[in-house]
Amino acid sequence: MRKKKELPDVEPVRLPTIKGIRPGKYIFWLLVAAIILIIFLVLYLPGIVKGGRWVDFSSPLTEVGIVVDGAYAGSTTGGHVFISSGEHSVSYIKNGIVIDEGTLSVDHPVFATLFVRRTMDVEIPATDTDGLYDSIVSRTLSSLAAYSGIQSWPDGYNYPPLLEDYARDVVALGIDDVSEDFHLMSLFVTNDRMLADLGAAKAILDAASVDYTCIDDEAIETMLAGEGPVKDIETVQPTISVSRTDDGWFRYEATSLTLGSPAALSIESMASQPFTTSTSAFEMAPGYVSQYDWALFVEANPYWSPSNKDQLIADGMVDDYYLAGITLSTLYENTSPVRNVSWYAAQAYCHWLSGKTGVAYRLPSEAEWTLAALSAEGDAYASTLYAPSSDEHPSSLYGGLWEFTSTAYVPLSRYEGEVYDASSIDEADIVVKGGSYLNAGDGISAETVGVMQRQTTSDYAGIRIVREVK
């Protein structure tokens, strides 16, 4: 049997008291304090430090921007916007136009803001103030003009609902008739996604009983399939009556003519669809606006100086190639054609020259340019900038440089038998005519339509002007 071992005496361990408080009590209260601190840090402190609410701004209008205390805070399509507690000045902007403004009061919720998103709803009114509807039309047309040039879409590319948003805005503003504007917009529909957008917009307008007109959907569908209808039109041949003026310009008498030629409506034939129009009497310059002419213009209008190019670009008047390769001087008369100028610059030149001389100068319409080109049929194609002059008609109408016109390019307008002056639709691109010295002569005719953006400058485009007949 094992002998029992005696253990030494030891001092018992005792937890210290704190001011007479037994350990069990103060440990309990420490745990309670820790729990309270955690609750405070998690449930209350975030709300105290960052007080405010997530505000859900909504409006029957699409894409309304929210400005809070002078700073952009988001839009109605961007989800909730966090706004701190207190009084805030707010304004609501669409297309750069303030549609409403005022004061927004946000309280200071504290409890559990880390876990529970405190929200409030703000409804933005829809009123047609300061030309809001006109700005919606303009922006929609600008976007449509850009997308109309796209015939194939990369995988995953999202086409924005341009016409659908326009229709929603029309309904929100309570407009009951958009026939003219919607018809024009439909003339830019040149691909399948735009056609689907057109259908969605029509459904919205129909549901709200808004009156509208547009190009026939079936015509667009068959066009996209390459099997569009052939337009039935009686071709009108112009009476070409041209004479030389005392100062060497060419006078053309008033006439009617058909531009384009009958062909099945397709993507390829959009620009050559036939339509009949007329011209009043006009006089056309024998050649291009020269570099010397432009030097005089810039001298009188420093805004258009190449040294002011950055401002011109910022204003959307030109691109980065404005007057590239051109040295302007009024000390000697350089008769070489001015190039790398934009349509906006050409318009400004005509305005300046008209004011200086008291004679109305302008760019030719497509019909006027075509009439002049028909009078020069048979001329050799100008493969340089220096074609020989003629006593019978202006020179270099075929080849040389593409020439700006005053006609807007609206893709399907020709099929509808309509023509739009560039001054009546600021958002469309511009028709240019004649080809350049780089084009193959057998591919350019009086009917050939080129297209340029208004601010684009090109080494292969120049200016020929006409003047009104008194």
Query: Can you list the pairs that 352-360 forms with residues at least 24 positions away whose Cβ atoms lie under 8 Å?
Result: 352/297, 352/300, 352/301, 353/297, 353/465, 356/300, 359/467, 359/468, 360/467, 360/468
Q: How far apart are CA 460 and CA 124, in angstroms?
A: 49
Choose between 162 and 117: higher pLDDT.
162
Strand partners, 466: 284, 362
**Given 3-state DSSP classes, what are the helix, strand and coil percentages for the chain, each rounded to the nearest 5?**
30, 20, 50
272 closest CA partner among 440, 431, 415, 420: 415
pLDDT at 433: 97
Contacts of 93 (CB under 8 A, 6+ apart): 64, 65, 66, 67, 99
Output the DSSP codes for 6-50: PPPP-PPP-PPPBTTB-HHHHHHHHHHHHHHHHHIIIIIHHHHHS
Burial 194-216 (b: 16+ CB within 10 A, else e): bbebbeebbebbeeeebebebbe
DSSP summary character for residue 116: S
Confidence at 218, pLDDT banded by 50, 70, 90: confident
3-state secondary structure of 357: helix
Q: SS3 of 264, please?
A: strand
* Closest by CA position to 113, among listed 142, 141, 82, 73: 82
What's the CA gap between 33 and 21, in Å, rounded? 16
CA dist., res. 138 & res. 140, Å (int): 5
Mean pLDDT of 38-50: 77
Closest CA to 457 of 348, 298, 317: 317
Helix, strand, or coil here: 145? helix
Nearest to 114 by CA among 49, 57, 34, 36: 49
Structure tokens at 467: 């003047």
Q: Among 5-14, 139-148, 459-468, where is mean pLDDT lowest?
A: 5-14
Query: How far is it, in rounded angstroms, from Cα 74 to Cα 86?
Result: 19
pLDDT at 1 over 60: no
User: pLDDT-based confidence at 15, cuts 50/70/90?
Assistant: low
Confidence of residue 13 (pLDDT cuts 50, 70, 90): low
pLDDT digits (tens, 9 = 90+) for 438-447: 999 888 999 9
Contact 292, 334 (CB under 8 A): yes
Q: How confident is the model at residue 351 (pLDDT cuts 50, 70, 90)?
A: very high
pLDDT at 233: 85
Average pLDDT, the chain: 90
pLDDT at 225 over 90: no
- Pick the closest to residue 60 from 212, 170, 164, 162 (CA basis): 170
Res 257: pLDDT: 95
Q: Where are the beta strands (DSSP E) in 335-456?
A: 361-362, 402-409, 429-433, 450-452
Q: Is the pLDDT of residue 128 over 60?
A: yes
Give per-residue pLDDT as tens, 298-327.
999 999 999 999 999 999 999 999 999 999
Backbone angles phi, psi at 243, to 5 degrees: -145, 160
| Nearest partner of 140 among 84, 216, 209, 197, judged by Cα | 197
Confidence grade of residue 5 (pLDDT, cut at 50, 70, 90):
low
Residue 66's pLDDT is: 92
Say which residue, 128 or 447, is predicted with more confidence: 447
pLDDT digits (tens, 9 = 90+) for 354-410: 999 999 999 999 999 999 999 999 899 999 998 788 899 999 999 999 999 999 999
pLDDT at 77: 82
Question: Do 369 and 405 form a contact (C-beta atoms < 8 A)?
Answer: yes
What mean pLDDT is predicted for residues 159-180?
Answer: 95
Q: Could you say which DSSP state residue 335 is in?
A: -
Give dist(CA 167, CA 424) in Å, integer: 22
Q: Residues 6 or more apart from 442 whose CB is under 8 A from it?
A: none
265 has pLDDT over 70:
yes
Strands 71-75 and 361-362, by their bridges, are: unpaired
In whole angstroms, what is the distance from residue 465 CA to residue 39 CA? 80
pLDDT one-digit tens code per residue, 55-108? 898 999 999 999 999 999 888 887 678 888 999 999 999 998 999 999 999 888
pLDDT of 2 reads: 64
